[in-house]
Amino acid sequence: MTLSLQIFQFILSGLTTGSTYALIAIGFSLIHNATGIVNFAQGEFVMLGGMFMITFYTFLELPMLPAFFLTIFSVAVVGLLLEQGPIRQAKSKEILILVMITVGASISIKGLSMILWGKNPMTLPSFSGEAPLVFLGAAVMPQSIWIFGITVGVVAALNYFFKGTMTGKAMRAVAASRRSAVLTGIPVDRMILLSFTLSGALGAVAGIILTPITTTSYDVGVMLGLKGFSAAILGGYGSMPGAVAGGLLLGVLESLAAGLISSEYKDALAFLILLTALFFKPSGILGSGRLRRV
Amino acid sequence: MGKKNKIYLLIYGLIIFALPAILQNNYHLMVLNVAALNIVVVIGLTLLMGYAGQISLGHAAFFGLGAYLSAVFTTTYGFPLWPTVIMAMAITGSIAYAIGIPTLKLEGHYLVMATLGFNIIIYIVMIQFDAVTGGPSGFAGIPRLRMGNFAFGSDRQIYYLLWAVSIAVLILSLNLIYSRVGRAMAALSHNEIAARCAGIDTEGYKVKIFVVSAVLASLAGSLYAHYITFISPGTFSFFYSIQVVTMVLVGGMGSLWGSALGAILLTILPEVLHAVKEYNVLIYGLILMVVLVFFPQGLFPGIAGAFANRRTKNPSDSGKQLALAKRA
């Protein structure tokens, strides 16, 4: 294989994982925009997506489509419970406290998953076969096309939701200014609840589509969550197009670095990118640039 | 540091140095030795969380850097022990400075993520860079702690050394928070903009506290390496960062005494709950969540506050308490 073809191959596989990072990054942005907090449990939503899908599809032998939607529903409920329980009941509404509550939630979900599903890695079959397709000389797994297609579909649907529906517009109003949103009669609490539920659902989608190519286990959440967060920072925290661009860029950079430099330090690279982004352009590539320095 | 603190310190010191006489089991001493080191890490973190209003989820990395730098330089390269410990502190402090400068300038909680990312990078390096670190199987044969010709051999001898360090760090920190610097930090944690208006270099203080807390973690890490004489990456994973943060939060974010007690309690607790090792992660997560949801000011201060409320509601009771206190 020539070097240019190799690079093309790495870019394609980078776009695949990058798509899931984008979904996770959007989940971070949704909750950040509604509440101003960083939801550390976002990665656990992804892990739960894979685990629930395995439970419904492999163990309970439901057909794929019902299992898919049941999984999304279940993880959305986990998101809802996280908001209704610890976040809503918290005595202190200080951002720092709320962020640490999500850290606690993340650890608890991880600990519980270890007890429920054990420590062994598990996987799902690909949605449609394992035979690679050849695209401009590079091999593409059918699952990669599913991942890319579903991500594009989800992003398009979210775009419609935020621009075309009343609820979506209300959520954007809350993000722009919570106080003004209250004054115009938007039920802010319900929008916050919705943002957690939607983030759970997005995490679930990412987990379901990613599991066939990467396998899953109880402890993958932290890493995936951090990758998604890095992507969100890279693209501009809180911005939806930024999250997508950041996710894809991070996926491609990571894949190139793993292929051309060293695969052992692949995970370390994502955080090196995060630290570099924080250092040079903390508002991200598509960020508003309004980030305040104190 | 105030009369009250001096009395507390006297009682605390007496209990700590009397304990080995009662405890005959080396295992109990070992648990307490680890608690002493955790206190050193937790005190640094308390200064950061309570006074700079920032959370670090990367203190396991600083603890690990101290341990590995000390271990590698003394064992592989034959450096003398104590200068190496100090060198490790200096290197760790410089790294913390490099991380703190960009992240602490930003509003919001970027330090949380940056430190967590850093923790994971260091963890990966410990595992992958096995030519130097020994990889996943760990690093053995680290020289024991010694001072001049005296080698600290038994858990009992090390107990006095580690607790002396731990108490010294506590005294220095108590002095710090009752100094001009401490008051500046308190102002900064209440309202950063107001503190700036009063002429406090808030950014500088935040970075300095972060560096100090990383240096303390490094010191604890070096002592840990030379005490246990074997280290492996598992000890310095992200979970340890969560554990120390939980200790601070249980003790109350602004309270050094609370944090020290939190560290002792949460170091002993998992040993008591030995039978439920599988549930360790879940238990830590739940403790963290419950404490934060119901006692955001810390478990000990929260309980103390609840008692104080009860007492003021019942004046005759409080009078009785006062009389009892006077008689005592």
What is the per-residue pLDDT across A73-91, written as a single tens digit (0 to 9) for each?
A: 999 999 999 999 898 988 8
> Does the structure show a pLDDT above 90 at B104?
no
- pLDDT, residue B275, reads 64
C-beta atoms of B120 and A223 within 8 A:
yes
Write down the pLDDT at residue A258. Answer: 86
Which residue of chain A comes nearest to B295, CA vs CA? Answer: A91
Residue with tokens 């290197």: B91
Domain that holds residue B97: 3-280
Out of B103, B128, B289, name the one closest to residue A104 (CB). B289
Which candidate, A249, A208, A212, places its Cα nearest to that of A227? A249
Cα–Cα dist A108/A204, whole Å:
18
Task: Identify which of B154, B281, B3 has the alpha carbon closest to the alpha carbon of residue A108.
Answer: B281
Residue B135 zone, left/alpha/beta (φ > 0; ψ -120 to 50; rest): left
Question: Is pLDDT of A149 > 60?
Answer: yes
pLDDT at A291 over 60: no
Q: How far is B175 from chain A (nearest CA, A)?
A: 27
**Percent of residues, chain A, with pLDDT higher than 90:** 44
Judge whether B53 lies within some domain.
Answer: yes
A84 to chain B: which residues are within 8 Å by CB? Answer: none
Q: How far is CA B18 from CA A149, B23, B156, B160, B296, in A?
A: 68, 9, 12, 10, 34
B114 and A274 in contact by Cβ < 8 A?
Answer: yes
**Mean pLDDT to the nearest integer, A20-31:** 92
What is the per-residue pLDDT for B317?
Answer: 44
Number of domains in chain B: 1
Q: Output the pLDDT for position B32.
A: 92
Confidence of residue A132 (pLDDT cuts 50, 70, 90): confident
User: Which of B238, B282, B297, B303 best probes binding to A when mutated, by most A CB atoms within 10 angstroms?
Assistant: B282
Q: Give the minimum alpha-carbon distance from B102 to chain A in angstroms, rounded to a whole number.
A: 5
With beta carbons under 8 A apart, name residues in chain B contacting A275: 99, 102, 114, 117-118
Judged by CB atoms closer than 8 Å, whether chains meet at B128 and A100 is answered as: no
- In this structure, are residues A226 and A270 in contact, taking their beta carbons and an 8 Å threshold? yes
Interface touch B113/A274, C-beta < 8 Å = yes
Contacts of A104 in chain B (CB under 8 A): 285-289, 292
| B72 is a domain residue | yes
pLDDT value of residue B322: 38
Model confidence at B109, pLDDT cuts 50, 70, 90, reads low
Per-residue pLDDT, A252:
92
* A247 assigned to some structural domain: no
Task: Write down the pLDDT at residue B218.
Answer: 96
- Decide if pLDDT at B195 tops 70: yes
Spell out where A133-263 has E strands.
133-135, 138-140
B107 at A interface, C-beta within 8 A: yes
If one compares B106 and A95, the residue with the highest pLDDT of the two is: A95
Residue with the two structure tokens 């944690």: B189
This prediction has a pTM of: 0.83
B107, B175, B180, B187, B209 from B183: Cα distances, Å: 22, 11, 5, 6, 13
User: Does ipTM surpass 0.90 in this model?
Assistant: no
Closest CB to B109 among A99, A279, A291: A99
Q: Is the predicted pLDDT of residue A98 greater than 50, yes or no?
A: yes
Q: What is the pLDDT of residue B310?
A: 64
Q: What is the share, in percent, of chain B residues with pLDDT greater than 70?
A: 91
If you average pLDDT over residues B94-98, what whole number do you get? 93
- Cβ–Cβ below 8 Å for A95 and B278: no
d(CA A147, CA A138): 17
Which of B34-43, B65-74, B144-153 has the lowest average pLDDT?
B144-153
DSSP codes, B169-222: HHHHHHHHHTSHHHHHHHHHHH-HHHHHHTT--HHHHHHHHHHHHHHHHHHHHH
B chain contacts of residue A88, beta-carbon cutoff 8 Å: none
B147 residue type, one letter: M
Within-domain flag for B36: yes
Residue B323 lies in a domain: no
Confidence category of residue A5, pLDDT binned at 50, 70, 90 = confident
Indicate whether B18 pLDDT > 60: yes
Which range in A66-70, A267-271, B6-10, B124-128 is most confidently predicted, on average pLDDT?
A66-70
Residues of chain B found within 8 Å of residue A112, distances taken between Cβ atoms? 282
**Nearby residues of A169 by Cβ (< 8 Å), 6 or more positions away:** A162, A163
Rounded-to-integer distance, Cα A10 and Cα A4, Å: 10
CA–CA min distance B260, chain A (Å): 20
**How many Cα atoms sit within 13 Å of B227 on the Cβ side?**
25
Does the residue B294 lie in any domain?
no
Mean pLDDT of chain B, nearest integer: 85
Helix (H/G/I), strand (E/B), else coil: B140? strand
User: What separation in angstroms does the CA of B254 have from each of A101, A274, B66, B184, B264?
Assistant: 18, 30, 26, 14, 17
Tell me what pLDDT residue A277 has. 78
- A196 lies in a domain? yes
B281 contacts on A by Cβ (under 8 Å): 107, 110-111, 114
Q: Who's near A239: CB < 8 A, 6+ residues apart?
A: A29, A284, A286, A287, A288
Confidence of residue A1 (pLDDT cuts 50, 70, 90): low
Q: What is the pLDDT of residue A42?
A: 93
Listed range (A115-119, A257-261, B156-160, B174-178) with the worst mean pLDDT = A257-261
B142: in domain: yes
pLDDT per position as a tens digit, B50-61: 888 888 889 999
Maximum CA pair distance of chain A?
Answer: 62
Specify the CATH number for the domain of residue B214: 1.10.3470
The residue that leads in pLDDT, B276 or A175, is: A175
Structure tokens at A128: 């449609």
Closest by Cβ to A264, choosing from B55, B128, B284:
B128
Domain region containing A93: 18-217
Q: What is the pLDDT of residue B107?
A: 62
Residue B312: predicted pLDDT: 57
Q: Is residue A126 part of a domain?
A: yes
Q: Is residue B312 part of a domain?
A: no
Tell me the chain A residues in contact with residue B111 when contact means C-beta distances shorter than 8 Å.
Answer: none
- Give the tokens for residue A12: 């394609």
Nearest to A232 by CA among A13, A38, A57: A38
C-alpha B295/C-alpha A153 separation (Å) is: 43
Residue B160: Cβ within 10 Å count: 15
Residue B134 backbone class (left: φ over 0; alpha: ψ -120 to 50; beta: rest):
left
Q: Is A110 on the interface with B (CB under 8 A)?
A: yes
In a domain, B287, yes or no: no
**Helix, strand, coil fractions of chain A, as percent rounded to 5:** 75, 5, 25
- Chain A CB contacts of B193 below 8 Å: 294
Enter the tokens of residue A231: 């992507």
**What's the domain count of chain A?**
1
Average pLDDT over residues B149-178: 89
For B282-315, the pLDDT digits (tens) are: 888 888 888 889 888 887 777 777 777 765 554 4
